[in-house]
Amino acid sequence: MTDQPTLRDGELVLRPWELDDSTATRTLHDPEIARWFDFPHTPPPEDEHLAWIEGTHAEWAERRKATFVVDWRGEPAGTVDVRVQEPGVGVLSWAVYAPFRGHGIAWRAVRLLVEWAFEALELERVEAHVNPDNRASVRTALRAGLRREGRLRGNAVLAGVRQDTLVLGRRRDDPHPDTREGFTSMLDSTLPTKRAIAQGVLRSTTGGLLLCELVYKREWDLPGGVVDQHESPAACVVREVREELDLEVRAGELLAVNWLPPLQGWADATVFVFDLGTVEPDAAARAHLQAREIRAVHWTGPDDWATRVAPYNARLLRRLHQHRGGTLYLEDGTPTG
């Protein structure tokens, strides 16, 4: 059996746990560690801490888990480990003792462990499961090169309360976190994603404005839909009108940008409203409607909007009806200035 190695990065050293480490590390457990690991008390009893150290040796011998003391400038500063969950996948965990926090030790230790695990354990992927309220550990995972991948709702219990878990991961073939590609990929995984919607104003030569009577909600709405990933809003509205109405249009002038606050269970969204031009009234009769979404289409005027569309859209349509030239910026259908 190969002995567990010692890993080095300057003054940072990852080495196997020894029974002699118990005295120096047991009393360094504090309420912060107890909170996130759900320990019943701190510091742990001496016999429990010794048994845990002995357990790390057994886990290494069985190749189930590699647990290291984090030494910083010759002092034990914390612990990191990787547990082989299934072939090719390792789950990371770590803790830094209170006197050593705030010095970047955690992310350096985790990154060193990850690089070793990819090579020595031949892992294809590592991941960390972190409580979203544990912001320090989320930052540690990101700086170590992991990307935020998702949120598991209510999958864990902490202090008797059901909690969510963030999943962060890194693959062997991901760009290294020190490269531009690696850094931007990590950052991109953390940035907020806002729903973008593209809609269009299609008018008839007789002055009507086209609204869709939808299958899934009571209010009528402008034609359009949710912008797909890597799709522009202008391309989206053209595609949606083609798919849902079987009409070919061109996205012209951007008439309005309307930010919508959360509504009826939907998160907030930004709506881009384009001018789709003017057509003959029989265009509505020629439309072939996508039956699962569109029940009917109607030419409408200002007298219809108060009773047929949602309040924020009534406000939007009234502004567009009165506006002449330029792009409006609205929030919930109302100008900000």
CATH number at residue 219: 3.90.79.10
Is residue 323 one of the residues assigned to a domain?
yes
- Within this chain, do residues 40 and 180 fall inside the same structural domain, yes or no? yes
Is residue 177 one of the residues assigned to a domain?
yes
Yes or no: say if 172 and 125 are a contact pair by the CB < 8 Å rule. Answer: yes
Residue 10 has pLDDT above 90, yes or no: yes
- Within this chain, do residues 99 and 227 fall inside the same structural domain, yes or no? no
pLDDT > 70: percent of the chain: 99
- Within this chain, do residues 184 and 207 fall inside the same structural domain, yes or no? no
- Within this chain, do residues 154 and 230 fall inside the same structural domain, yes or no? no
- Within this chain, do residues 53 and 153 fall inside the same structural domain, yes or no? yes
Provide the token pair at 220.
């009528």
Residue 1 has pLDDT above 70, yes or no: no
- 196 contacts: CB under 8 Å, gap ≥ 6: 226, 227, 233, 236, 269, 270, 271, 272
Q: What is the DSSP letter of 98?
A: G
- Within this chain, do residues 207 and 175 fall inside the same structural domain, yes or no? no
Give the separation between CA 262 and CA 271, rounded to whole angstroms: 13
CATH number at residue 27: 3.40.630.30
- 194 or 209: which carries more pLDDT confidence? 209
Neighbours of 142 (CB within 10 A): 20
- Within this chain, do residues 155 and 293 fall inside the same structural domain, yes or no? no
Is residue 229 one of the residues assigned to a domain?
yes
- What pLDDT does residue 194 have? 85
Residue 262's nearest CA partner among 332, 334, 336 is 332
Residue 264 has pLDDT above 80, yes or no: no
- What pLDDT does residue 300 have? 97
- Within this chain, do residues 235 and 271 fall inside the same structural domain, yes or no? yes
- 299 or 193: which carries more pLDDT confidence? 299
Is residue 214 one of the residues assigned to a domain?
yes
- What pLDDT does residue 86 have? 84
- What pLDDT does residue 323 have? 82
Is residue 331 one of the residues assigned to a domain?
yes
Is residue 309 one of the residues assigned to a domain?
yes
- Within this chain, do residues 199 and 185 fall inside the same structural domain, yes or no? no
Give the separation between CA 96 and CA 76, rounded to whole angstroms: 9
Is residue 1 one of the residues assigned to a domain?
no
Where is the domain boundary, 161, 190, 219?
Answer: 190
Angle CA 191–194–195, to nearest 5: 145
- 54 contacts: CB under 8 Å, gap ≥ 6: 19
Angle CA 323–327–330, to nearest 5: 85
Where is the domain boundary, 190, 210, 228?
Answer: 190
Residue 154 has pLDDT above 70, yes or no: yes
Q: What is the pLDDT of residues 165-204, one digit of tens each?
A: 999 999 999 999 999 999 999 999 998 888 999 999 999 9
- What pLDDT does residue 74 have? 95
- What pLDDT does residue 262 have? 87
The pLDDT of 256-268, averaged and rounded, is 86
For residue 95, give its domain range. Answer: 7-190
Where is the domain boundary, 139, 162, 190?
Answer: 190
Distances 272 to 91, 126, 282, 309 between C-alpha atoms, Å: 42, 39, 26, 17
Residue 270 has pLDDT above 90, yes or no: yes
- What pLDDT does residue 295 have? 95
- Within this chain, do residues 185 and 283 fall inside the same structural domain, yes or no? no
- What pLDDT does residue 192 have? 84
Residue 56's nearest CA partner among 39, 43, 46, 69 is 69
Q: What are phi and psi of 97, to 5 degrees?
A: -70, 150
- Within this chain, do residues 178 and 200 fall inside the same structural domain, yes or no? no
Q: What is the pLDDT of residues 32-86, one digit of tens each?
A: 999 999 998 889 999 999 999 999 999 999 989 999 999 999 999 999 999 999 8
- Within this chain, do residues 261 and 290 fall inside the same structural domain, yes or no? yes
- What pLDDT does residue 258 have? 96
- 65 contacts: CB under 8 Å, gap ≥ 6: 56, 59, 81, 82, 83, 84
Give the separation between CA 186 and CA 188, rounded to whole angstroms: 5
> Residue type for 213, please?
E
Number of structural domains (the chain) is 2
How is 171-197 classified by DSSP, letter by letter?
ETTSPPTTSHHHHHHHHHHHS---EEE
Is residue 2 one of the residues assigned to a domain?
no
Question: In the predicted model, what is the mean pLDDT of the chain?
Answer: 94
- What pLDDT does residue 325 have? 84
Give the separation between CA 272 and CA 227, rounded to whole angstroms: 10
Residue 107's nearest CA partner among 81, 131, 140, 75 is 140
